[in-house]
Amino acid sequence: MRHVIVNADDFGASSGTNRGIVECHTRGVLTSTSMMVTGAAVEEAVDLSRAHPELAVGLHWDVIGEDEREFDLDDHGAVRDEFAAQLERFRELMGRGPTHIDSHRHMHLDDSVRELFAELAAPLGVPLRGDGQVRFVGNFYAQWEWGVTDLEHVSTRALLEIIREEVHEGWTELSCHPGYVTADYTPMYRHEREAELRTLTDPAVRAAIDELGISLESYATYARAAGRA
């Protein structure tokens, strides 16, 4: 059986990001999201998650934001402290732990902290992006070259190709970054988010998933399937 989780990064980053993620969940194929407890609109994200309880919410660990502030990953004490602080903040906001763990710009996959993050995530008993529990596919993205946009990579055609060719037996996460452009949030990856939103809410995508016999799941349903509810 093939199971696919469609997961959006950056929940809480801005009101436009929050709105786009929820719209892709209610009108499209998005099932899960990763929340930035450091985000300017994180309280709104929490309220939206409570209004949409089927949307699984994990922790999007963030130490650089969009201003690329410096953080020394070689300082493992600082990494441990920041992980503990953000996890505690997540629990305070959500009243529970995260359904999964990942990080902004895949910082946790850096060679200097990869093993440390595996250690930090293990007691939580939830998937850590890249740990092999759920296969990660991240090529639904419009900037394959930093700062160079090609919206064809986030077109319906491109997403259908990814679904047909990269969702194999077992569990797969397709990551995405939908959202609406707002004046208060100006990341490098900005207008591309609205293009992703259009694709993720295209009825042809859900129809293809159903026709291929793929089960559309979330990180919450993964936990139940794995006996971790």
Catalytic residues: 9
Could you tell me the CA-to-CA distances from 113 to 85, 107, 119 in Å, in that order? 17, 8, 10
Q: Which residues of 29-50 are buried (b: 16+ CB within 10 A; e: fewer)?
A: bbbbbbbbbbbebbebbbebbe
Beta pairing partners, 5: 173, 217
- Residue 16 and residue 194: Cα distance in Å, rounded? 10
For residues 28 and 52, the answer to whether their CB atoms sit within 8 Å is no
Composition of the chain by helix, strand, coil, percent to 5: 45, 20, 40
